[in-house]
Amino acid sequence: MRPPSLRTLYTILFLLGLFFIPFNSYRGIPVLGEYSRESATLFFLLGTAVLGIDILITKSIAFPVKNGVFCAVLFFLFWCFFTTFLNMGAVSHYLYKGLTGVERFFRQYVSLLIIGFFFLVFFINVLSRLSATTILKQVRRIFLFSLIVVAFYGALETLIVVFGLAQLKPVLLYFNYFPFTEVHFSGDRISGVSFETPFLAIYLITICGWMLSYIITGKGIWRFIPALLVLELTFFAGSRTGLVVISLQYLIFFGVLLFFKKYRKNILYLFSGFALVVGVALVFSGGKLIKEAKAKLDSLNFEQNLLTSISNRSRFGMQYASLQVFKDNPVIGVGFGQLTYEGYKYYPAWAITNNYEFRMNYMNQRRDSFPPSYNLYLRIMAESGLVGLISFLAILILAIYRALKLIREPEGPARILGLITMVSVVGFAFNWLQIDAFRMFGFWLTIAILCIPFREKYLEHPPGYVNNVD
């Protein structure tokens, strides 16, 4: 019989990990590599270890081998390994910044396995024992609690950074006593409890669908507050990608709701409330807000910023190099984690010239960090070819298909989870146009939800699961 204490322990660790997803402003643990700043990793690693002990004792594991989304993930993981094996002749001779191609592959592949396999299986084993109602309530409540903390921190930071109320700094500094948090300021943008503004944007993309769902299930004016908090934090964070992606997530959410007559009134209420909040804000601080809004709109002019923004020149330069590597190796790529070894040959002059990011970071042999490619799809194309890209796109397409099936379910928590996961998958899919990391806890949580059935009679032994590991 399964020891209830172990199941309870790894479930608690799972929920703690969800709460601490945005908290990565502390110095971190260097041995964890790219996960060093991610406080959620500590809880998920411990939870995975406890799950492993539980599996050894009970010889039972939830492993959805008949789920299409899960099988697509497994094939992608296999292909990332196999394509590197096929390129091993070249990989074994690579050397950049003192790191060999084999070492680079090992680090990158282990990093991918941690989140794309071990954490995914951990999430599935936690969620597969819960009903759709419990998943919706518990996960959403945890994200709400973390949003409350982030919003309070963000409000103080906004008053200090945007509105110039420096006298509030001593109050904000008390957050240094909060776990995994080090107070810092990053120019004229807020980053909350996260290390940088883009990480705050990723967190907001993660919780957006969950907070929007309160509009459906909540009562009174309070059901709109979480969604409005997400908008407020997105606006003052000033992340261009965050502004675009979260706006798209809102459009998808309300676009789907329009198909259900009973929710149309909720949409009207939300936009009325939003207009009221904006109106009140304009009365008290109209000039400052209009200036901020204009700055945000100007930041979205990518054509103009390409010539004036160093970060954009770096971004497009890296993406150009990735495309050139793909053109040379279109079918199987150059091997997982090997893009930089070939990509540096194709850095364009217009990106390198008078660009301190290339001089001090990307091409500086004394800096250990490897340059990013700033687009996950281009990275996959270059490293694993068309086969890798198709297999990864299959994960996204099958996930969206599964979410749509849930949305078509009769009214209830499963339908709401379908809407949440639809919003989340699309959000992450578009966010990956500007970032090349698989390290998105919210995405793999969403995949885990889409890998399990939501029927009470299957809670103990869902179909398509390997339950015995003898």
Are residues 404 and 430 located together in one domain of the fold? yes
Domains held by the chain: number: 3
The alpha-carbon radius of gyration of the chain (Å, integer) is 23
Instruction: Give the separation between CA 147 and CA 371, rounded to whole angstroms.
Output: 31
Distances in Å between the alpha carbon of 183 and those of 21, 169, 201?
A: 17, 10, 18
Q: What are phi and psi of 28, to 5 degrees?
A: 85, -175
Are residues 185 and 295 located together in one domain of the fold? yes
Are residues 232 and 334 located together in one domain of the fold? no
| Domain membership of residue 114 as a residue range | 67-127+305-459
Q: Looking at the domain assignment, is residue 134 inside a domain?
A: no
Instruction: Give the separation between CA 1 and CA 127, rounded to whole angstroms.
Output: 19
Helix (H) or strand (E) holding 398: helix 376-407
Are residues 228 and 340 located together in one domain of the fold? no
Tell which of 22, 39, 61 closes a domain: 61
Are residues 78 and 23 located together in one domain of the fold? no
Tell which of 61, 77, 109 closes a domain: 61
Q: Looking at the domain assignment, is residue 464 inside a domain?
A: no
Counting every residue, how long is the chain?
A: 470
Question: Mind listing the pLDDT tens digit for each residue in 9-38?
Answer: 999 999 999 999 999 988 888 889 899 999
What per-residue confidence (pLDDT) applies to 265?
A: 72
Are residues 156 and 90 located together in one domain of the fold? no
Tell which of 254, 284, 300 closes a domain: 300
Of the candidates 301, 248, 210, the one whose C-alpha atom is nearest the C-alpha of residue 429 is 248
What is the mean pLDDT for each group of 10 consecutive residues in the chain (470 residues)? 77 98 90 92 98 94 94 98 96 93 96 98 96 96 98 94 90 92 84 91 97 91 91 89 93 89 72 68 57 53 60 91 95 96 92 87 84 95 97 98 93 93 98 95 98 61 45
Are residues 295 and 316 located together in one domain of the fold? no
